[in-house]
Structure 1
């Protein structure tokens, strides 16, 4: 046993494996996930196990770099468009949690390092823990994080389930209402008989009502088959054409062209296909789907959009960001044209450029080591800030020279998870030696501060969302989950409703909260330490 304790690699593997197993244990449908490693690491450190600090440093740099890559595409742009409402809400939520932490810690005599760890745990933010450890090196932030994390995890899940009930509503009913309100966004296909003599011999591009309705006429009836129209296609009275349009615009288009066709028994000469496309073209980034008019220009519809690991049905007013994964439906030839315009087909983005990862990490470490002189004091971003900043910039711009800011989803998740568990294992083991003393001296205070941070953050975020920003209940709940960086909280919502409003709000608030936690965790340390 002594040899095992003093063998760093064996200790690391044992701690990580045990932590991942612990993370899989579910209680009332909740599990710790990768954060289970912090608990086994604390226990291991308490019993004398040691893990090389270099493993933790590598894990920290890799983890925050991957976080930056994921958040970059949405973080900067969020503040200059409609999504800034959710970003500001996330900032209010995080700031209120930090203020509650500072006030409660001052009142209860909790040291700065423990306060910052409790703040990060209450908002379930590992990047916040990383910033706390760098701001208070050698402290016990990991201990307080481990104690506070379950409080934050359970608190958000309970809130999103109880809040609708207290208001006399249910997530299921809210989802049905949201679906009814968005019915007009559904894409419909109708065979229309052309009767309007005013369109005789005219091309589609010259018909303003068709363009305004974002309508696509993709096929015409020849015999008993619907065949694709060519580039020189023009309308004639008596034609039967296939109209593809949003349901709310259907009556407008049908009235303009003629009437719904009474013909039956026709078939398509080809079936529609699906294609996944990753957005990388500057021509489409930061534009709404309404502005891009994919249906009218290419004859394809975007049926799903995946962003920050969550997928939803996009609406016409939703903005496209770099790195978004679009699922498009249409004919093969038109899908190829669409993919060439928007970015790249998904499979072309599935190659991992490890050289770019290495160069990006090295640049981040170098930036983190640079000292900035501020009068008599100096400041540096460190391993938690340097790689994060470079990751944000690469994620935002897509690539800088030959260095790419994109990783395939599977590779990104693997590298981020590996970095996370290495960091948690080393941080927990280092703090575990003082676990008993910390709990004996500050156990009740830690729990009280964590509970205060969690409750204040959630309640302030909810009130701001509903009363200040005028968001719907579903949007507010999704934004609160994003501001608390709580994926389990979002999961509790989506398990009850298929509405996309909370998912969209979560995806907009999450990047801002992720980055702001690293800032406010440092502020907690500096405020209490001053």
Structure 2
């Protein structure tokens, strides 16, 4: 078969299999590796060099995506989640090292097992760069990866069954006419609240801690016989009725702090003229919190929802706005026109990909990856995986350094990330396929036992630490555990069983730190063994 045609066939078949869902769980792009292993075993070949390019592109885009949250997670309230992620990665390295010594596993096999058990394809790439025979890394990854997915999903399901019914599945009030919710955003509700609490009368919404700190927004007030957008100088008055948009539990808490709930039947909103959706493209907006932007005090406009990729949520004052976010704005028509110019709603800008910045960033990353550092008499380098990852993290955090930008349109970023990963997995799998049967015959049972241990110990350690050391709730702990394992299937199993936003928040806080640390730890493990 023609090598280029073989490449496309392997990717196509792998992606098709990755879409197959069993009990709501699918393995996605990683299924390409298993198809490539079979192709390599059958003697099929693909063009050389594409795997290295795909790896560099993949980890660079991972760094760009993780940059905005990675460094902030180390220096904010998310430090607890970041610590959990670091502990889970460290325990994964420790268990892998013990298994390697106990079962006399070579470094390349051990690194592949850890990458697969922790379901980390960036770690697979970094480990492949650090060994002489990267095909063994891919074989071990292919053995351990299914165990990594199965164990985290089973763990989540077992823990959820042991939870209290109220914690696992909060009672839905979707039938309550005071709490209508969007079908696309089932956890977001709209409430009408009458202001009766003397403690908030005379204050601005931003001066009330409950409404400022929680993911809720007060968008309208009933004045002059109509529901008007909240003006920039509005203060609460006794008897005012306001529209509150918030997530389920937080919205109820804010409503109780302000006053009493009212009936929604008489609410008629001018959504066509007083509500607009805008896509963030302005560099002056990106990376800043709503508190810093002061859109209400400057323009009389309220951000009621943020849609990031395919997730919609209600922001708080501490929410940072990212490039490509879609903001739902409520305000008077003239005020909306003014704020649109500041936010930068230009569809062409949103769809533009700065190829020059991409090329320069990748070039710098590859150069950084080739720099050797002496550590205890051992020469080490970041390699093709570590160099672009670090440069991507820095550019993603600062957004722009000189004329080099660290942002991409969401669709372009997903395409480059998934495309780079597909190229790398195909190349790694085809190269490893020639040896997969021999490795499994020699060490198949040992690899399975080690994979189970490597997946189970970090998961259990992180969960118990979250519960008993940091005092997190069960849902928060499970979310952090999924993030520490970089397991999207685990998060999917968790979110399918609860409407709470706690697991997603914990997952987002722990995931970037674990993703970066496991990528760095994989080549270090090779040196240790």
Task: Specify if TM > 0.5.
Answer: yes
Instruction: Determine if contact 2:138/2:429 at 8 Å carries over to the other structure.
Output: yes
Partner of 1:313: 313
Partner of 1:150: 146
Say if 2:160 is the partner of 1:159: no
SS at the partner of 2:280?
A: strand
Partner of 2:132: 137
Deviation at 1:334, TM superposition (A): 3.8
Partners of 1:423 and 1:416 in 2: CA distance = 11
Cα separation, partners in 2 of 1:379 and 1:326, compared to 1, 3 Å = same
Cα separation, partners in 2 of 1:88 and 1:225, compared to 1, 3 Å = closer
TM-score in terms of structure 1 length? 0.82
Partners of 1:20 and 1:228 in 2: CA distance = 46
Match of 2:9 among 3, 10, 14: 14
SS at the partner of 1:275?
A: strand
Partners of 1:366 and 1:412 in 2: CA distance = 22
Gaps (5+ residues) in structure 1? 197-203
Partners of 2:102 and 2:267 in 1: CA distance = 77
Partners of 1:311 and 1:38 in 2: CA distance = 28
**1:148-168 Cα shifts (integer Å, max 9, x gaps):** 111111111111111122x34
Partners of 1:441 and 1:480 in 2: CA distance = 33
Deviation at 1:371, TM superposition (A): 2.9
Q: How does 1:45-444 map to 2 (within 5 A)?
A: 45-139=40-134, 140-165=136-161, 167-170=162-165, 173-176=167-170, 188-189=191-192, 208=203, 212-213=207-208, 221-222=223-224, 224-225=225-226, 243=242, 271=272, 272-278=274-280, 285=287, 287=289, 298-306=299-307, 311=311, 313-314=313-314, 316=316, 318-320=318-320, 322-323=322-323, 325=325, 327-331=327-331, 332-338=333-339, 348-373=349-374, 377-444=378-445
Cα separation, partners in 2 of 1:43 and 1:235, compared to 1, 3 Å = closer
Partners of 1:28 and 1:145 in 2: CA distance = 23
Partner of 1:200: none
Structure 1 window deviating more from structure 2 (435-444 vs 321-330): it is 321-330
Deviation at 1:211, TM superposition (A): 5.4
Partners of 2:237 and 2:19 in 1: CA distance = 64
**1:333-360 Cα shifts (integer Å, max 9, x gaps):** 4445555666767774332222222221
Deviation at 1:8, TM superposition (A): 2.2
Structure 1 window deviating more from structure 2 (14-23 vs 97-106): it is 14-23
Gaps (5+ residues) in structure 2? 180-187, 212-216, 245-250
Say if 2:514 is the partner of 1:519: no
SS at the partner of 1:327?
A: strand
TM-score in terms of structure 2 length? 0.82
SS at the partner of 1:128?
A: helix
Deviation at 1:398, TM superposition (A): 0.7
Cα separation, partners in 2 of 1:304 and 1:281, compared to 1, 3 Å = same
Partners of 2:285 and 2:12 in 1: CA distance = 46
Cα separation, partners in 2 of 1:157 and 1:405, compared to 1, 3 Å = same
- Computing the radius of gyration over CA atoms, which structure comes out larger, 1 or 2? 1
Deviation at 1:432, TM superposition (A): 1.4
SS at the partner of 2:498?
A: coil
Deviation at 1:228, TM superposition (A): 6.6
Cα separation, partners in 2 of 1:341 and 1:252, compared to 1, 3 Å = farther
Say if 2:500 is the partner of 1:499: yes
Deviation at 1:138, TM superposition (A): 1.6
Instruction: Determine if contact 2:280/2:286 at 8 Å carries over to the other structure.
Output: no
SS at the partner of 2:432?
A: helix
**Structure 1 vs Structure 2 CA RMSD:** 3.8
Partners of 1:446 and 1:235 in 2: CA distance = 64
Cα separation, partners in 2 of 1:49 and 1:175, compared to 1, 3 Å = same
